[in-house]
Chain A
Amino acid sequence: MNIAVLIKSVIATDEPIIVRGGIIEDSGAKKVINPYDEYGLEEALRIKEDVGGTVTVISAGTEKCVEALRTALAMGADEAVWIHLRDGEADEHTCSLLLASALKLKAYDLVWAGHLSVDNGAGQVAIRVAELLGWPHAGAVTAFRLAKGEKGLNGEKGLNGEKGEYGKKGEKEKILLVERDAEGDSEDWANRGSGIWLHVTKDAEGDSESLELPLPALLTAQQGLNEPRYPALAGIMKAKRKPLTELTPADLGVELASAEAAPRTVRLDCDAPPARAAGRRLEGSPREQAVELLSLLRSEANLLKEVR
């Protein structure tokens, strides 16, 4: 199975953020692979170890991508792709076009990415990529397994299949996919989209949804999916010899200034949030503190009025 993982270099979450002149200072800050991307990378590596195949890590951005890509190679990825971009040159629209183009260079079966990045926090790029590729996606995945035309797919009905006429159509759809699996070489994991189903559990505001989707597909990793490994020394040495391909937007056929690819949004400015002043400490016994807190929340903070 050929797996791609979209990764981003971000300032580590334990670093303070310093804004100077409308720009976030990042030259001195410690950078890491976006933690959510790292969960996706770990899962991709586990799949490779389980069924074979390759893991390609792809990142778009400035030179800071290189360290993240090398770390991913040290963790066990096979090859890396760095798409050159200058800061501020792309928004999520442009970035997703570049990544989708890069993903067309090889026949990938599965793409992992992070649920969101801890810097921009928009959570757009990966899902945009799925749409641009015309693939199904599942976001915020907390558990994952592969299944090859399992029995469960023949018999039991999914929730979609339990209601109304559409459900019956959905049922037929499923059977077709299972048949396709039976006709193909079911042992050939490299056979793209050969009736292999992904069973995923995703987080939806505290609920957990169990989904099945066929390959090729894109998944975004949520916290709780796994515990990412640390690169071993041998891995770090090996990583230096693994291929890291550099591509420009032009190499990918994307003209950044064109109407099609140009950013749709632009940052006007950026600053630190207003500092929050520490308030007051409540004294006395726990009971006295509790009474004072409840009355202050009502009288001073104008809270807890509509509750009772």
Chain B
Amino acid sequence: MERGTSAHGGEGAMATHIVVAECRDGQLRRVSLEAIAAAKGCMQDGDSLAVLLLGGGDGEATASVSAAAGLLAQRGPDEVIVIDHPILGRYAPEVHLAALLAAAKALAPEARWWWLGHTAIGRDLAPRLAARLGAGQVSDALAAARGADGRIVFTRALHAGKALERRAFVPGAPTVVTVRPNNFAPAAIVAGPAAPICSLPFNPPPSRIIVRDVVRRASGAVDLAEARIIVAGGRGVKSAAGFAPLAQLAALLGGAVGASRGACDAGYCDYALQIGQTGKTVTPDLYIACGISGAVQHLAGMSRSRVIVAINKDPDSPIFSVADYGIVGDLFEVVPALIEEWNNGV
């Protein structure tokens, strides 16, 4: 239904929180459910929650947007707003910003709290939104909790996790938050009727950016930042070909492949895979470090993983100091053994 024509929409919708949900490859991203949970955890009586979903293009894209909207509606928001327009099928900062502002305008009162995943799109879009609104922004939040004085206190990493800060908004201005994937439990399905799904018309501004081409080069379907399991390789992997068993193990476990700076600098793999203070900071459930010595920059980027496994020939490697399970040995013997035993059903 079109927003404003429904019994629910139009006046009286007191949305103050808005979560910007995101699809990738036609699938709703888990971090969007995590952002809903983060927002819910910070809401007070009388607050309401709208979830905004942008997308569109061909019939297939529209179908996946509407499927994702259905999933979102079950997670306890007051409403789901869908802007389905062909232009939104590809990310362009100013066009997506215009869509966010259109959604804000449709809400009464306008959204004061914005929640996005700290994804490629979220990290690119949120600062433009914050600047447009004159808003504060907390980026890459690891946790959010309401403090004793009633204000919401965010935890975030400094120096890629070598230190942690608690940060809060100064009262008054609108607020934008991006949440790091894998740090909030995703919002669960709420019993009872699903929230209404409203579509909003959109007149996009002309984009000054032309997207020529998108080359998918991510190994497998799992994105590094959002991966629950990461198999990472360092200099000990010795060559680009050496990453093959790591990729095989990652694929079996449903995980992603990462790398240390050493491996990237040596040309074994692309910088897009780099984990560390330069590169990506990741917090998967399971991190398997293969042939990674554990330089301080690398440890900063991965030591908040829930469980860490280290496989390294050198028993004195610093990586063992953060590993829950350490295997002193040759990764080219241990990783194939893991693959084989996994396939044996161990």
Contact = CB atoms under 8 A, between A and B. Distances in A.
B225 A205 contact: yes
A158 B276 CA distance: 35
A265 to B, nearest CB: 4
Interface in A138-196: 138-140, 142, 158-161, 163-164, 166-167, 169-170, 173-174
B7 interface: no
A303 to B, nearest CB: 5
Contacts of B14: none
Contacts of B330: 286
Nearest to B212: A210
A158 B211 contact: yes
Interface in B195-231: 204, 206-219, 223-225, 229
Secondary structure at the B interface, as helix, strand, loop or mixed, is mixed
A270 B164 contact: yes
Contact of B323 (A17, A203, A279): A279
A268 B127 contact: no
A interface, size bucket: 35 or more
B245 interface: no
Interface in B232-289: 252-254, 264, 270-274, 276-279, 281, 285-286
B286 A297 contact: yes
A63 interface: no
Contact of B338 (A129, A271, A293): A293
Contacts of A51: none
A273 B142 CA distance: 12
Contacts of A214: 208
Interface of B: 24, 57-58, 85-87, 89-94, 97, 119-121, 123-124, 126-128, 130-132, 134-140, 153, 156-170, 172-173, 175, 204, 206-219, 223-225, 229, 252-254, 264, 270-274, 276-279, 281, 285-286, 295-297, 300, 303-304, 306-309, 320-330, 333-334, 337-338, 340-342, 346
Interface string A290-301: 110111110001
B323 A278 contact: yes
Contacts of A264: 134-137, 169-170, 173, 175
A295 to B, nearest CB: 7
Contact of A139 (B124, B132, B137, B277): B124
28 contacts: A13-B160, A93-B134, A121-B139, A122-B139, A124-B126, A127-B128, A131-B97, A136-B209, A139-B124, A160-B90, A160-B210, A203-B120, A208-B272, A210-B211, A210-B215, A211-B210, A213-B208, A223-B279, A268-B166, A276-B308, A276-B321, A278-B322, A280-B325, A282-B326, A287-B337, A287-B340, A301-B306, A307-B254
